A and B are shown apart, each in its own frame.
Chain A
Amino acid sequence: QKEVEQNSGPLSVPEGAIASLNCTYSDRGSQSFFWYRQYSGKSPELIMSIYSNGDKEDGRFTAQLNKASQYVSLLIRDSQPSDSATYLCAPRMDSSYKLIFGSGTRLLVRP
């Protein structure tokens, strides 16, 4: 079983729709969770972090965390073509500050 599981996609949504990206993780000791966006040929950039169960909103992005279910998600409202990228879920092992990356979900937003 992979440590971090993400649907590779592509997830295709029309412009203006809500994109829902999901991630499950196996390490129950993970306490911090991060979403990174990676455009093709570029390095990852931080989108959001979440540490507590529940929802956290930042602009068009909402992260959701359920530690009991070992599940974290990212919602993107009013999706734009510029949101087309690969989204990486990364729980953190706080003792070492290592991030465990999933393989990423490729999102395509159709104009």
Chain B
Amino acid sequence: GAVVSQHPSWVICKSGTSVKIECRSLDFQATTMFWYRQFPKQSLMLMATSNEGSKATYEQGVEKDKFLINHASLTLSTLTVTSAHPEDSSFYICSAFGVGVGKETQYFGPGTRLLVL
């Protein structure tokens, strides 16, 4: 199957700082990447959809100025949580969809656990 990586897997930061999370498709070209957030004991919540070379489309209620998404290449998308606060602490998961082995459906990265103190 298709392989998607995320980095870092864990991050702890102070309130007010910005955190960047990288999502990479390792063995296929990801024309579309999705970013999700998951709070404990809840399902995945889609935050935004990003297509390579264009602006991300954010879901209703997600602040685009707080969660900056860049999809600069067919294998890399980044999510930057700006001025993070404790309520942003969550499990952030990316998924990728594209051509080749990744074409059937979304394949998920391992996730990044963010803790804001």
Q: Which residues of A contact B (CB under 8 A)?
A: 32, 34, 36, 42-46, 49, 88, 92, 96-99, 101-104
Contacts and interface: CB of A to CB of B under 8 A. Distances in A.
Interface string B43-73: 1101001000000000000000000000000
A97 B32 contact: yes
Interface in B58-98: 93, 97
Contacts of A104: 43
A99 B106 contact: yes
Contacts of B104: 49
B106 A43 contact: no
Given A43-B109, A44-B108, A49-B104, A97 B97 contact: yes
B46 A49 contact: no
A72 to B, nearest CB: 14
Nearest to B110: A43
A36 B97 CA distance: 15
A102 B42 CA distance: 10
A87 B3 CA distance: 20
Interface of B: 1, 32, 34, 42-44, 46, 49, 93, 97, 104-111
A44 B9 CA distance: 15
A45 B106 CA distance: 9
Given A34-B105, A96-B49, A42 B111 contact: yes
Contact of A46 (B1, B32, B42, B110): B1
A103 B106 contact: no
Contacts of A101: 43-44, 46
Nearest to B107: A46
Contacts of B46: 98-99, 101
Contact of A99 (B42, B105, B109, B111): B105
